Amino acid sequence: MNALLGFVAIVMLLYLIMTKKASPVVALIIVPITMALIGGFGKDIITFITDGVKAISTTGVMFIFAILFFGILTDAGTFKPIIRRLLKMAGDDPAKIAVATAILAMVVHLDGSGAVTFLVVIPAMLPVYDALHMRRTTLAMIVALAAGTMNIMPWGGPTIRAATALTVPVTELFNPLLIPVCFGLLGVLVISFLVGRKERQLVNELSSDRSLMENLPPTEEIASIERPKLLWFNYLLILVSITVLITGFIPPHIVFMVAFALAISVNYPNLKDQGKRIDAHAKAAILMASILFAAGCFIGILKGSGMIEAMSQVAVKTIPVSVGQHLPVIVGALSMPASLLFDPDSFYFGIIPVLATTAEQFNVAGIEIGRAAILGQMTTGFPVSPLTGSTYLLIGLTGIDLGEHQKRTIPYAFALTLFMLLVSILIGAIVF
């Protein structure tokens, strides 16, 4: 009975979210409570929900302050000098411009927001690409690969969702993947250079307008909140924060709480300015936090009621041992294409817990399922998925069709995922 209720809960969650019959927050709360009531659970439901929310509370806090931290630094103009320097160094060489595009997208995507990355990078680079007659599909592809790979970072949405679903610390999930992700980013740069070199061959006549190589002058409103004199403080703060985060010396939620407090206090000491800057990023922070806490309700009920355990037992009886022992590798290989079928909430909160518990029945660490999944599902796959608004923003800003963007980008995104999966297997982050 529990297994049936669990499978029905997952199917209902997928249906409601993917058909947009309900928002992820509503579906993650209503569906499990309904199934638990049908299963005859009474007051225990309160305990299940409370335990689930407690388990992901620190992750939710980390995400809120990570968004505020990187948002404050972006407002302060921390990344603008990097943009100008990259454009200046690239000159009119398509290969250099392609690499500069990738680096710029990686830097801007430190805040984990695909929309922000596309809104910053595409307008900055599009005039350059047009002036040199470089294809816009190349711009979209490079930005997508860079942002997608960066989305695996500990504060990225997929990684946080995976950690939440598996109720494990984000650093425990991510740290073994640090080397594969670095190789992945290096792979993005290599792909960008090779594609840029091909663009150089395709360009019939190079005409560069140097005025296009610089960012447009900031508006008065933007200029008023930038803090150019505090650039080195902000760079140092980012470096220290990420270093401490990766070392695991201090829990992630405390790292970003302190980093945010320092960033906003130094850059905007005036209380009124602080309020405005927090308000500017509060919507994004609260939206994601609400989904995470709602996921705590979903996971808490399915775990506490025994539904996940019951589903995993059914799966174990169905899956051959030879397949079950290699489940993380299979998940990793399919993770990028899965972005075309599943949105991140339904995949990480509905499917991953069952797969992880099933893997454990084959003596495979469940956390490896999470590591394998974030190598592609809504990471390298998010900028090509028709299920994310960011994809439409990307193709809208570049003025290309979704089909031609997917045709150009998907093979590279899939190859990057397989490359990182191979590195993960070689270093033991994922056991083959």
- pLDDT tens digit sequence for 250-309: 888 898 899 999 999 999 999 999 999 999 888 877 877 887 788 889 888 988 888 877
pLDDT at 209: 44
The one-letter code for the residue type at 309 is E
pLDDT at 388: 73
pLDDT at 219: 55
Could you tell me which of 342, 422, 325, 327 has the C-alpha nearest to residue 375? 422
Classify 428 in phi/psi space as left (phi over 0), alpha (psi -120 to 50) or beta: left
Q: How far apart are CA 210 and CA 132, in angstroms?
A: 11
Check: CB of residue 368 under 8 Å from CB of residue 180.
no
Q: How far apart are CA 380 and CA 51, in angstroms?
A: 32
How many whole angstroms from its chain centre is CA 124?
Answer: 22
Please give the full DSSP string across 336-349, using - where no structure is assigned: HHHTTT--HHHIII
**Cβ contacts of 10 within 8 Å, gap of 6 or more:** 350, 351, 354
Residue 243 structure tokens: 């270093």
pLDDT at 217: 46
Query: Taking the CB of residue 382, how many other CB atoms lie within 10 A of it?
Result: 27
Query: How far is residue 367 from each of residues 101, 145, 159, 179, 360, measured CA to CA in Å?
Result: 34, 25, 12, 17, 9
Residue identified by tokens 């390298």 is: 380
Query: Taking the CB of residue 316, how many other CB atoms lie within 10 A of it?
Result: 16
Q: How far apart are CA 135 and CA 137, in angstroms?
A: 5
Check: CB of residue 49 under 8 Å from CB of residue 301.
yes
Please give the full DSSP string across 339-389, using - where no structure is assigned: TTT--HHHIIIIIHHHHHHHHHHTT--HHHHHHHHTTTTTTTTGGG-TT-H
Classify 40 in phi/psi space as left (phi over 0), alpha (psi -120 to 50) or beta: left
pLDDT at 298: 86
Angle (CA) 176-146-431 rounded to 5° is: 25
The SS3 call for residue 320 is coil
Q: How far apart are CA 101 and CA 138, in angstroms?
A: 10
**Cβ contacts of 197 within 8 Å, gap of 6 or more:** 94, 95
Check: CB of residue 361 under 8 Å from CB of residue 316.
yes
- pLDDT under 70 in the chain at which residues? 18, 111, 203-222, 316, 387, 389
Q: How far apart are CA 416 and CA 411, in angstroms?
A: 9
